[in-house]
Chains A and B, each alone.
Chain A
């Protein structure tokens, strides 16, 4: 008679449990496979993210989108009717700068097409959503006492960021000819910014960096010895109940605001 001792019994029961476990993990007869039923030890491949290469076309389409953002901003400013009285002379300045941006947009889109891309002929959606729309809402708030001043500050900020954008892509563009073309436009944006800074704070006192009584940096026509790529802070709109005002820091376009080939005008 075969006798099974306690040790053998424990070994057999362990093997039986393992067999039952493996059977539960495997396919079962008569059970339809479904993607909705997960089996232990079997996972599907995760879908990979599509890779977007940031090349000349993406950088230039992004620059074109900022030109259209600037055009839209000047159009909005001109339609506010604030360039009257002492600010009447600024109407022709704003019109001129809007027209310059139209020329820049055409020039940049020419480069886009020459580089094998598709022209982008509308404003940067991310930039508009994050910066321009909130800024315009603050400026046009019913109790804003200095709409014209805020419009100038916004225009100066946009021109500064536009100039920074061209400067920032110089090292990323693939050819020296494109770098020159970008900075030919970029230096014109810098001139716009300087002219607007002088409109905000005229004369020699408004040329170099300075601060107000509270130590806050004031807008300067030439704030530094080299073109900066730092954020441009803006304070706009009416004073709120808590004494604060709407604040935003404009930054050059980056990964979330680049105009990739799959981005189209709405």
Chain B
């Protein structure tokens, strides 16, 4: 008789394990080499702690009670636990803090969708430096680490979580209409977004901007689409892109004015990693300047997490090409 594992979980046998270990070792060496020390946090956290990090997040995928009736949850990412660590364990220390991790995170999955409920994340968190310097350090380190891991065709999407909201404000879109627009943008429903923008009865130029902005992605030329009084909205992106050019990684960067991530704690730059061999993103991250304050240590911060198993798929595909 075969005893199953829960949906979305799996066993890893020695051949794969060796490759995953080797991959993580390369990435760890790159992160440690850049001064990011590895930390480990408990897989279980108090649910209240995780919720404090992201109030807009849905319920955690897995919850349980301890012997005293407290609600515990399996972490759904490492960023919130690390924010807790920094606030609790480095309360007097002088920033910056550079930390990295390799740990499993957990999310609820639906049966039959081929998604992982338990997945291995590897990533970095940079606490202290603000935008754009901190953003550029995180992006370029992740790109270099992936180079060392043997990826050749990976690209990073660079957007700004505050761009569309600030645009809505600058165009004086009524407050009550903003949430529905952002919700459609977050769902990648560009048809619904256009419908909703049309209902606002804006002038031709403002309408055009709200509809086309989410489709603008490519090189630095996309930044030119916002001019005049709207230009400051992309100032952060422009500055970050310039720093990345100086670091020599600009050709890997896709500026993406429509990039929005589902996690609610991002306040500035957001990143997504792509590789042509994989249909899903290899990782994501961004700037979360408000998160540490919720744990009592207000500091700007930025980070990025890689989905190690997907990086492994991309790397395997890369080896086949050689």
Q: Do A and B bind each other?
A: no
Interface residues of A (CB under 8 A from B): none
